[in-house]
Amino acid sequence: MRKLDHDQRRREIAEAAARLIAAEGMPALTTRSIAKAMNCSIGVLSHYFDGKAAIVTAAFAWASERIEQRLARALSRGISVDRLLPLIRAALPHDRQSRTEWGVRLHLWSHAAADPDAAAVLRADLERNRALLGSVIVQLQRQGEVRPDIDARGVAQMMIDSMHGMGFAALLGLHPAGHDPVSAFNVLVDDLRCGDGARRGVARDACNA
Amino acid sequence: MRKLDHDQRRREIAEAAARLIAAEGMPALTTRSIAKAMNCSIGVLSHYFDGKAAIVTAAFAWASERIEQRLARALSRGISVDRLLPLIRAALPHDRQSRTEWGVRLHLWSHAAADPDAAAVLRADLERNRALLGSVIVQLQRQGEVRPDIDARGVAQMMIDSMHGMGFAALLGLHPAGHDPVSAFNVLVDDLRCGDGARRGVARDACNA
Amino acid sequence: MRKLDHDQRRREIAEAAARLIAAEGMPALTTRSIAKAMNCSIGVLSHYFDGKAAIVTAAFAWASERIEQRLARALSRGISVDRLLPLIRAALPHDRQSRTEWGVRLHLWSHAAADPDAAAVLRADLERNRALLGSVIVQLQRQGEVRPDIDARGVAQMMIDSMHGMGFAALLGLHPAGHDPVSAFNVLVDDLRCGDGARRGVARDACNA
Amino acid sequence: MRKLDHDQRRREIAEAAARLIAAEGMPALTTRSIAKAMNCSIGVLSHYFDGKAAIVTAAFAWASERIEQRLARALSRGISVDRLLPLIRAALPHDRQSRTEWGVRLHLWSHAAADPDAAAVLRADLERNRALLGSVIVQLQRQGEVRPDIDARGVAQMMIDSMHGMGFAALLGLHPAGHDPVSAFNVLVDDLRCGDGARRGVARDACNA
DNA sequence: GATGAATGAGGCTTCATTCAT
DNA sequence: GATGAATGAAGCCTCATTCAT
């Protein structure tokens, strides 16, 4: 029970730190700002974390965990080719909560550029996501919804890379107004589908016109 | 001539700062570290920049400029559908210099999360790149190498988003060993091409097998 | 209790700063010198004051408070025309403590020349002193010790102005050796008195001699 | 001729420094601000002055000189008891130029609190003014306009002290709106006059009423 | 466990001064 | 004589951390 309280408190601190990172950036994450956000004194932090670096690590972990949970929840609603786009959409930043998570993620990426430990964590995260998305595609192949000749892991990697690019860009408001980056995945998804050659062939005939 | 020296020196400082950012991250970018990298005294910096924030801005601008120049150079070698992949490859991090540029770029993105000015610069950068890549695609459409029914700007945006995701991931060593992220663009490029319906059709037939 | 400690500490810092200002001037008032005088570390100061400017303000306030208290103490010993000169003497710099207070006061005046906030504080201080001295004169008029036809506030203002000039000059050792500036007030005090026309008349006859 | 240019330039620099001191205070007096005000480069200053301290000294001297000249000009218009008040009024701050001079003077006083050299200069200045004003009073005594039984130097000192207090207060806007501090000198001047005992005697009778 | 006062290193900036051009 | 780039000390402030209460 004591242990539970302890872990609970750690999680609260990590979350507070994560929110601060997302909202104001790493430089604004100070022990003072965390204590203020937690409405507690500075000294408390050292009871739960061994220095600020550990809090940062925990904040990054908190966000990564949330992001994975979000993906898992989306997957739990059932898998089909037609659900791929909504799934991607659910994974990208689209509401306050997901924007916070993506905000932390972006800072984690830049943090990892100079911190090998963070980079290792990041690699592990990505590997899990790749495996997860890869297994989804394999399952769709087994369901006969996706062409069997494609490399599931390769496509998963590409989708994840693209999602990161889109997610960060969306987070920073880098897309033109009204632009829906996810719709671009239609091209890719259509390409994965079985038996839709007809429509595409027509369009392609236009070249020779 | 005096003015030239002044600008030259500013550029040198910006470059030194950019290299520091890429190599050790923003927190390691201090006036001391810049002066040390420049082999000069701290006070010099204030002769050329109006505070550290201005140096950071200049460093970001230096990297963005280099990245655009790199893209422009790649484009100057001629445009064709078959050159699209090499072009993308040239734009992604692949050597020391390009890794430095991408390192700064990643930090600029996370910096922009909390700095509206940096975000505005980023948006302008992206808009230019989008226009550039969009015009390339339009030209390819005019040359009859790309299907006329696709939305050039939409595809350009998607390619850029994906490149960012791949570029950052490649920079951080997030891809599995031996993985070539660029090859994933083959799917997209093939989709853009005119008159290649045949091969795809064959593959798609496998679904029904 | 905690609050008391806090305020007590603030007062100590303000006093230390005031003594430094009086002894060595504003340029010598640095965070280092204050910390050294307080025998504590530099960081402590920011626990109690919001920057150096706030310490300076508090130091000025400390001295002004002391000066007013000194005046109030002198007044509490009873009021009569014969006590006016001793009262003035008590208000002017005459011992180590009062010299410190006047030293700070002088620096406050020059500080106020470029700082509207300080000037406003100064104006308020002066207004209080003017009111206080004015009420003393009114009381003496009621007691029949001072001529009823004089303007109490005007005389109070003149006395205060003169006291400032004398006080600053005395502080800087500007008077000739052995000179007692306060005795000059005899002229004014005699002029205020009721019923001493005789002595003056005699002296004035000398003109026609 | 060269020497003249040199001295002329020194005077210009001293004046520029003095104006800066009066307008923005000592802390704002930097080599850069002086050079900017002079519209020249920083290096020039070291051709004419041996460091900043020398410039400050010269600026103080410039203002003191001006103040004395102002007093001398006022005296050259002829001396009589009736001209004493206008003379005092001319010496106090009353226009842009005199306010500048008084501004520098105030800073000189606070500067002298921690700088024995400046204090010595100040003492010498004051001694000259005391002698000047004292000789004026002596002359008035000889002209039979001032009572012969007063101590000329003592009165001169008192007048100077009061003028300083009034001048500084006026400079800082410390007087109540509409208040004319100089009129307070009427009391003193009347007291100096020969043969006006009648009016005073009448007023004094009011005490017994 | 919790508090927050204290520490002192280190960040950014400004300044007077020097000196090569 | 004039310029202004360069220097580096020193100013103020913030920060993570420690520790007595």
Report pLDDT digits (tens) over D22-69.
999 999 999 999 999 999 999 999 999 999 999 999 999 999 999 999
Annotate A93-110 with b (16+ C-beta within 10 A) or e (fewer). beeeebbbbbbbbbbbbb
CA–C1' gap, C30 and F13, in angstroms: 12
What's the pTM value of the predicted model, to 2 decimals? 0.90
Report pLDDT digits (tens) over A170-205.
999 999 998 898 888 887 888 778 765 444 444 445
CB contact under 8 A, B194 and A204: yes
D82 to each of A33, C61, D112, how far by Cα in Å?
70, 42, 35
Within 8 A by CB and 6+ apart from C31, the residues are C42, C45, C52
- Does nucleic acid strand F have an atom less than 7 angstroms from the CB of A43? yes
Report pLDDT digits (tens) over D137-160.
999 999 989 988 888 988 899 999
pLDDT of amino acid C207? 59
Helix (H) or strand (E) holding D141: helix D116-142
pLDDT of amino acid D186? 84
| pLDDT band per the 50, 70, 90 thresholds, residue A149 | confident
* Nearest nt (C1') from D34 Cα: E16
- Does nucleic acid strand F have an atom less than 7 angstroms from the CB of B38? no
pLDDT of amino acid A195? 61
Cα distance between residue A187 and residue B155, in whole Å? 9
pLDDT of amino acid A199? 44
Residue C193 phi/psi, 5° resolution? Answer: -60, 155
Cα distance between residue D124 and residue D94, in whole Å? 25
CB contact under 8 A, C113 and D175: no
CA–C1' gap, C176 and F17, in angstroms: 58
Going by C-alpha positions, the residue among B23, B17, D129, D206 that lies closest to residue C197 is D206
The answer on pLDDT for C201 being more than 70 is: no
In C, minimum Cα distance to D22 occurs at C113
pLDDT of amino acid A196? 52
Report pLDDT digits (tens) over C73-124.
888 888 888 888 999 999 999 999 999 999 999 999 999 999 999 999 999 9
pLDDT of amino acid D134? 92
CA–C1' gap, C47 and E4, in angstroms: 10
In chain C, residues with a C-beta closer than 8 Å to the C-beta of D194 are: 204, 207-208
SS3 C115: coil
> Token digits for B46?
């204030």
Helix axes A84-91 and A185-192, enclosed angle (nearest 10) = 140
CB contact under 8 A, A149 and B206: yes
pLDDT of amino acid A53? 96
CB contact under 8 A, B168 and A204: no
Mean pLDDT of A70-96: 89
The answer on pLDDT for B106 being more than 70 is: yes
Cα distance between residue A97 and residue A121, in whole Å? 22
CB contact under 8 A, B155 and A184: yes
Share of chain B above pLDDT 70, in %: 91
Report pLDDT digits (tens) over C153-192.
888 999 999 999 999 999 999 999 888 988 888 878 887 7
pLDDT of amino acid D105? 97
In chain B, residues with a C-beta closer than 8 Å to the C-beta of A166 are: 161-162, 165
In D, minimum Cα distance to C196 occurs at D204
Report angle CA B100, B106, B108 to the nearest 5 degrees: 105
The answer on pLDDT for C28 being more than 90 is: yes
- Cβ atoms D34, D17 nearer than 8 A: yes
Residue with more model confidence, C63 or A147: C63
Concatenated DSSP letters of A151-196: -HHHHHHHHHHHHHHHHHHHHTT-SPTT--GGGGHHHHHHHHBSS-
The answer on pLDDT for C22 being more than 60 is: yes
Of the partner residues C115, C158, C207, the one whose CB lies closest to the CB of residue D144: C207
What letter does residue C148 receive in the DSSP assignment? T
Mean pLDDT of D75-86: 87
CA–C1' gap, C115 and E14, in angstroms: 20
Mean pLDDT of A92-102: 95
Residue with more model confidence, C75 or B117: B117
CB contact under 8 A, C162 and D161: yes
Residue with more model confidence, B154 or D2: B154
Q: What is the mean pLDDT of chain D?
A: 89
Report pLDDT digits (tens) over C44-71.
999 999 999 999 999 999 999 999 998 8
Going by C-alpha positions, the residue among D58, A196, A86, D185 that lies closest to residue B207 is A196
Q: Which chains, if any, share at least 3 CB pairs under 8 A with chain D?
A: C
Mean pLDDT of A62-85: 89
At B205, the amino acid letter reads D
